[in-house]
Amino acid sequence: MKKVAVLASGRGSNFQAVIDAIENGEIPARCSGLITDNPRAYAISRAEKAGIPVYVRDYSSYTTKESYEDALCSAMQECGADLFVLAGYMRILGSGIVRKFPGRMINIHPALLPSFSGLHAQRQALEYGVKVAGCTVHFVDEGMDSGPVILQSCVSVLDGDDEDALAERILLEEHKALPRAISLFCQDRLRIVGRKVRIL
């Protein structure tokens, strides 16, 4: 059975969706750890409740990004996971870490990539005036939100939407798309071919 570790910085609602999907048998794996850069993240409470080991690497306690990433990398290796899931992890990973785990890291982003990468994706979508928004699960590469796309899910943008309302509807889709992508990985059904991900 494959092992999955989650990196999260905040409330961890996507992390909870992963925990639930593992418990329901939708993901054929076990969660080997939560790794967080934020000692006050609510995700920690979710992990403790589910009996999942927690690795806190408090970003503010390191003097350089390099020393933080060394500590993060050692935590990832300690987890021994087959797949690392970035679920609301609010830091861009250095290329050294990305190269160490090629094809073994995925991210969930609240936009239909390649549109609206980076922060405040929902606000970007509203300001641009798109009629459709959504979320993307993708493999992590050395760019920002630029890796090969695994799954995407759409929501309509409504006339009365503000950033919070749109974000909430997208989040419901995230909670379905992320566990589905993890499940496909754990079943060895994903193949990266150039920029494309083939689902077997």
Query: 109 an active-site residue?
Result: yes
CA distance 67 to 59: 9
Show the CA angle centred on residue 65, arms to residues 58 and 11, nearest 5°.
35
Q: What phi and psi, each to the nearest 5 degrees, are found at residue 25?
A: 80, 5
* 148 DSSP 8-state letter: P
| Crossing angle between the packed helical segments 13-23 and 163-186, to the nearest 10 degrees | 40
Beta strands in 37-175 (DSSP E): 54-56, 83-86, 105-109, 132-139, 149-156
- Measure Cα distances from 151 to 34, 176, 182, 186 in Å: 23, 10, 10, 15
Of 109, 120, 138, 175, catalytic? 109
CA distance 181 to 138: 9
> Which of the residues are catalytic?
109
